[in-house]
Structure 1
């Protein structure tokens, strides 16, 4: 755990004991204690424990990362008991909203300090003990999942061979700062859809703007979990969702014209039932951040360049190669052990006559094949602009126009928007940045008679409010990533993939257990 992460955890602990200080001061006054003691972090909880006749060593447990948060909640619950508060809702208020509940007790003339004797006389029923334990477990798990870390499972091969299908990860929420949910009223442990009935697991009655505590920027080459940027509108059927995104379907139905496709979808809600999702309820994706805000990215013949310099190549990143072998038979076990390729998997291995094959290989495997003579010839299988028929331009990669003739292997140059940076809109870059300005930053953007209007004001200048990132899968030809849907705004960042705690493929992959992610 880095010093920054420890610092963030400690600041959260400070906030927990300081936010209700005003109410604690009023309660101390009723107990005959000087009010200034309420404003000294952790000394205030020490006084509470003394007055409640509870163990003072609990105060030291508050300094344990994460665990200390729940100790603080326990201290608050014990504290309100000495004011005669024993109802379930009173304990829930003390644990979850003490900054509101404590001032209420302090201001209520009927609430008096009764001391620890009243607590010793009170007895809970067995049912109440079980309810309290269950609720506390749910609250604790929800807070950890929201602010500290979350379990995540790799569903596709887009990050192979860095991450494999059915790798089980821990995703750190506090590396970039914990993000407050946009939809705080939601069913615990469910992302966006109930496991039965296909209904929403959340309500937008309470909807919060983007807030991130102790924010820290995403670093270049981090493996990041984020909300799928174009997952705001979803065709709510299993065969669609993020596997076949709404915008892709609309372009396909409209034969490249997304507006025609939209009308087809809207006029057939039975075939294409739509759901609109807030940012925090969009599907989670995992990719590598190859470019950060302010960078200029370019992909040349499959190689990523950032600000004119070749970028880091992940050691387990895969691309397809055309290989002619020297003729010896390929043993499946040797190919798996030595070259990390499954020749029985058509996604990794395809023969196409004689001793010629297409293989999905890491750079390490390519170097081995060259060194030991297995490969007579070997070259990357790259998509060139000349491979694209003229009628297909505008349907190949983002931004889906005929001006930018980009492919997955030849892309850019492209500037990544940065917070505070000002862009001059032109006909050449309008399709690149319009979604960021309109959808991610919430502006009205129009073109009238060749002139640009932002929020009904004529201007071709726009200053960005958010930082943006460019995400790509390590399996460069098997990844639905930024080359297909563009930038990832900072408010979509969920966390950093940090540790593989379990991996499964017809049994446990023992070598991958507790492996850090690089």
Structure 2
């Protein structure tokens, strides 16, 4: 029988990708890689407000580590990649709430500690609480937990701490705490003459100053004095004090007992202000509190909206859980008390309460770029001295 040798199959020639397909594949790979890095390792943020001056300035670009505290899994997975709340340049939401997942936190290097500069999701953008704080934060809108606005503040009290502020000084568990190196306070600068703002204030990096026009509550300013209300660091205040046209530099604090109505908690049972606040206990996981009238006013919203409880109501000022009045409560997660380093120009925990652990995003690590937003400062737009500065 004749045998015919079969010729080997010819390999099919691969089709070459079109230029558009190569471009699309490259963009898709870059988006997927950037999304994974942004979720798992670190994110880039820009500072839009002066609440952390002089530690962080408006126009600072920084990297925030997700690894330090452990990154969290998405709660709202149906989201356009590389967006946060809205599609770029629009007010169209970038997410859909059709699917909501439970949140888990991956292991991290460390826990949030006192003194850390922390990025977190703003708790009061919860759908049940945002309206209560519109007088302090007028642009509040409700968002899912993982898509609430990113805020950056310094942790001044950990879970379980008792915090008190006396005349501007923070005390934790009865001990005075170190003052952040670049922390700003409000000062009255009494002067003998008008000041050349460019040579005195801007030359020293002071951007927040106003001429004094009226008595600051009932503090140390006399009605016949002239000068400026200046927000600056203690070190710069001492420098300004040496100028021959400066009579004195005095820190301005609200007196104890002068109630500031916009502070947290919204109750007549406290008479606190931003300079004299507390004492208040920061909730800790497995920590139990007694629900007297004062504690109910402080902690009720956190028990109702941030602890994963169902069927929690307030009836005549009493907490009702699963149909039963409760006189004590054990917390399910840790909380933190956050404050801005610009202590007299910061909407922080003094105004809206604690930050739950499940709202923690990451630790601010370093500034990689800094651009001066002042439109007149064309020649020195980049603040070169701030590049790659470690955040402390």
TM-score interval (norm. to shorter): 0.7 to 0.9
- For residues 448 and 508 of structure 1, the distance between their equivalents in structure 2, rounded to whole angstroms, comes to 56
List per-residue Cα deviations over 1:362-381 (Å, max 9, x = no partner): 01112334466664333211
- 1:432–1:449: structure 2 CA closer, same or farther, 3 Å change rule? closer
Q: CA deviation at 1:122?
A: 4.5
- Cα RMSD for the two superposed structures: 2.9
Identify which of 226, 229, 244 aligns with 2:123: 229
In structure 1, the partner of 2:221 is none
Tell me how far 1:471 sits from its aligned partner.
0.6
Aligned to 1:377: 248
2:271 equivalent to 1:405: yes
Partner of 2:96: 203
Of 457-466 and 401-410, deviating more is 457-466
Q: Are the equivalent residues in 2 in contact too, given 1:434–1:445 (CA < 8 A)?
A: no
Is the Cα–Cα contact under 8 Å of residues 340 and 365 in structure 1 kept in the other structure?
no
Q: Does 1:316 align with 2:182?
A: yes
Distance (Å, rounded) in 1 between the aligned partners of 2:337 and 2:11: 57
Name the counterpart of 1:125. 17
User: Is the 8 Å Cα contact of residues 234 and 275 (structure 1) preserved in structure 2?
Assistant: no
Tell me, in whole angstroms, the C-alpha distance in 2 between the residues paired with 1:162 and 1:451. Answer: 42
Per-residue CA distance 1:313-364 (angstroms, 9 max, x = gap): 1121111112224x3764545524774324xxxx423244655332212011
* Alignment match, 1:248: 133
1:444-489 deviation per Cα after TM superposition (whole angstroms, max 9, x unaligned): 3334467542222332221111110011111111111001100000
The separation in 2 between residues aligned to 1:451 and 1:185, in whole angstroms, is 38
**Residues 79 and 96, structure 2, Cα contact 8 Å, conserved in 1:** yes
Instruction: Tell me how far apart the structure 1 counterparts of residues 84 and 304 of structure 2 sit (CA, whole Å).
Output: 26
Helix, strand or coil for the counterpart of 2:125? coil
Contact (CA 8 Å) 2:136, 2:347: kept in 1 or not? no
Q: Within 5 Å, give how 1:47-126 maps onto structure 2.
A: 122-126=14-18
Matched residue, 1:362: 233
Aligned to 1:58: none
Aligned pairs for 1:380-459 (under 5 A) are 380-385=251-256, 387-388=258-259, 395-443=261-309, 444-448=311-315, 452-459=319-326
> Which structure's relative contact order is higher, taking Cα pairs within 8 Å and 6+ residues apart?
2
Question: Quick check: 1:338–1:365 contact (8 Å CA) kept in 2?
Answer: no
Partner of residue 170, structure 2: 304
Match of 1:350 among 193, 197, 211: 211
Specify every segment of 5 or more residues in structure 2 that has no aligned partner in the other structure, as ranges.
Answer: 1-8, 214-223
The offset of 1:194, in angstroms, is 1.8
Q: Is the CA contact (8 Å cut-off) linking 1:438 and 1:445 kept in structure 2? A: yes
TM-score scaled by length of structure 1? 0.65
Q: Which has the larger share of strand? A: 2
8 Å contact from structure 1 (residues 153, 166) kept in 2: yes
Distance 1:251 1:147, change over 3 A: closer
**Which residue of structure 2 aligns with residue 192 of structure 1?**
85
Give the distance between the partners of 2:288 and 2:78, measured in 1 at CA: 36
Structure 1: unaligned runs, 5 residues or longer? 1-116, 236-244, 254-271
Distance 1:122 1:396, change over 3 A: same
**Distance apart, 1:210 and its partner CA:** 1.9
Deviations 1:394-443 (A, max 9, x none): x3311011001110111000000011111111111101111111101122
CA 205–355 in structure 1, closer or farther in 2 if over 3 Å, else same: closer
For residue 277 of structure 1, the aligned residue among 124, 137, 143 is 143
Bigger radius of gyration among the two? 1
| Distance (Å, rounded) in 2 between the aligned partners of 1:275 and 1:396 | 19
SS at match of 2:345: coil
Match for residue 382 of structure 2? 508
Counterparts of 1:446 and 1:355, CA distance in 2: 53
Q: Please name the residue that 2:200 is paired with.
A: 335
Which residue is 1:82 aligned to? none
- Secondary structure of residue in 2 paired with 1:429: helix
Work out whether residues 74 and 146 of structure 2, in 8 Å CA contact, stay in contact via their aligned partners in 1: yes
Once the two structures are superposed, residues 165-195 of structure 1 have per-residue CA deviations (whole angstroms, 9 ceiling, x without a partner) of 1111111111111111211221011111123
Contact 2:339 2:346 in 1 (8 A): yes
